[in-house]
Amino acid sequence: MDPKKKVLLALDVGTQSVRALAFSTKGELIDYSRTEYHPAYISDQPGWAEQAPEFYWQALSHSCRDLWDKGNVPPESVISLALTTQRATVVNLDKEGKPLRPAILWLDQRKAEIVPKLSLLWRSIFSLSGLKNIIDYFQAEAEINWIKENQPDVWDKTEHYLLLTGYIHYKLTNLFKDSVACQVGYVPFNFKKQCWEKKGNWKWEALHVKPGTLPELVSPGDQLGIVSDTASTLTGIPVGTPVIAAASDKACEVIGAGCLEKHQACIGYGTTATININSDKYFEPVTLVPAYPSAKPKSFNTEVQIYRGFWMVTWFKDQFAQKEQGLAKKKNIPAELILEQAAVKVPPGSLGLTLQPYWTPGIRFPGLEAKGSIIGFGADHKKEHMFRAILEGLAFGLREGREKIENKSKTPIKQLFVCGGGAKSDLVMQITADVFGIPAMRPSVTETSGLGAAILASVGSGIYPDVDTAVKNMTRTSDIFEPNPETVIIYNALYSNVYRKIYPKLKPLFQSIQRITGYPKILSNK
């Protein structure tokens, strides 16, 4: 086959949509098809987020068929495919491989009340080490524990307990296999050794996961299986097409942005905001928050996240920007663009408004009691000041994450690759460069997670010998935003003298609020 006609198919199953993306072996996006979910998820009760597993598979199949129908990418040109999905979404299958209940999404907020009792040895270890609250949180958050407590019939019939990637891989290949680099969730996975935990590890006691229900793990870049007859009929992908193990969406995003060097960091302005580096060594930038598997084999992503990241923009738009949304509809442009046009006129520092973006707390960073806050309101503040303060607050939070990573890695971060929805905004890019005081680069391909999957497909196909070579040949930068020295001075002062002091000073008040109101929920002793 003519090398120019070789196509790498990336399948990206996100939270809001699924995309079938056709890349050249040079990393060029040839064509794609996007299928939005309607609805993105179902919430039968407050805080719940579920979706039928078949819904994702049907949407993916539709995107593939639509891609072929466009006529720019013949199915027979696909030499291999790789899959990336949202993290920590779980699926229960019976012995025949049929779903037993809707998938529970990563943003679901339900908690188990009755969880497995740990042995005296482990309880003593965690109590003496001050980790009991962390383990309680882990057990309460684990979806399988909630299922065992509330739907014991589902738990009894569960023969395969998979993350969403594992389910889609099964639908593609008829094999219960998944990538090592997709194992981000409440499962008994050893993040340091990148394998299932051995028998006797505390995670097996903490989780109602039955041995034998987990998939076989495959290293990223290795062949996981081939497209089955049934999958081919539904998707149009040729029978026998190699399916290459990829990684989770965030891990794929890092390599898709071209971020592999120790001095480089990848910022993801998605629903969750993250700062990531790729590391050959395992270390935890936040103690007891693991480094996740990298898309590069035997490597790690040392990630610090703000759970409610660019979601903050959506939240602000829905709550305070009805006028802008109406105007945007008339002009057929995004409401965010109107908000940004106003915010760009606001001086750095938003006339003294400083925001702490913890609308949802973390387990270790910043802490279970944390809440969001905005300080510095005055009579001159308008909607655009608050909007800019959100963007600045997110950047401040990620800068704090950068410092945690640098303290552990002992390597200064000198370059930023910025991805996700926020990377489309010049204002966001410039604020990021100014807050960090280093260049912020926008990748040439906006579908960085998909490109990361295509990179692994290229390695699995033998196009490139390894991930490093593939990244060098398949990623490029479109724009570079240099920091403005005058603005850097302002942001440095605000970050050091204001932002970094907000949480320590407010923490006692947050704890009091939690005790008085019970929100966020205080986990009881198990």
The single-letter DSSP state of residue 423 is: G
Per-residue model confidence (pLDDT) at position 420: 92
Q: What percent of the chain is predicted at pLDDT more than 90?
A: 89
Mean pLDDT of 258-282: 95
Reported confidence tier of residue 47, pLDDT bands at 50, 70, 90 = confident
- Could you read off the pLDDT of 330-377 as tens digits, one per residue? 999 999 999 999 999 999 999 999 999 998 877 667 877 888 999 999
Quick one: how far is CA 193 from the chain centroid? 21
The single-letter DSSP state of residue 289 is: B
The single-letter DSSP state of residue 396 is: H
Give the residue among 476, 458, 477, 480 at the shortest CA–CA distance from 467. Answer: 458
Q: What is the extent of the structural domain holding 148?
A: 3-249
- Asked if residue 418 is part of any domain, the answer here is no
The single-letter DSSP state of residue 294 is: P
- Which position has the token pair 């205080």? 522
Whole-angstrom distance, CA of residue 19 vs CA of residue 449: 10
72 Cβ neighbours under 8 A, 6+ residues apart = 22, 30, 31
Burial 328-346 (b: 16+ CB within 10 A, else e): beeeeeebbebbbeebeeb
- Asked if residue 453 is part of any domain, the answer here is no
Residue 525 pLDDT > 50: no
- Asked if residue 242 is part of any domain, the answer here is yes
- Asked if residue 334 is part of any domain, the answer here is no
- Asked if residue 128 is part of any domain, the answer here is yes
Which pTM does this prediction carry?
0.94
- Asked if residue 129 is part of any domain, the answer here is yes
- Which position has the token pair 């106003």? 342
Between the CA atoms of 497, 503, 509 and 514, what dihedral angle is there, to the nearest 10 degrees? 170
Give a three-class secondary structure readout of 297-315: CCCEECCEEECCCCHHHHH
- Asked if residue 176 is part of any domain, the answer here is yes
- Could you read off the pLDDT of 202-251 as tens digits, one per residue? 999 999 999 899 999 999 999 999 999 999 999 999 999 999 999 999 99
Q: Total domain count for the chain?
A: 1
- Asked if residue 340 is part of any domain, the answer here is no
Per-residue model confidence (pLDDT) at position 519: 76
How do 90-93 and 160-163 pair as beta strands? antiparallel
Specify burial of residue 68 (Cβ count, 10 A radius: 0-12, 13-18, 19+). buried
- Could you read off the pLDDT of 155-182 as tens digits, one per residue? 999 999 999 999 999 999 999 999 999 9
| CATH code, 184 | 3.30.420.40
Per-residue model confidence (pLDDT) at position 130: 86
- Could you read off the pLDDT of 128-157 as tens digits, one per residue? 988 898 899 899 999 999 999 999 999 999
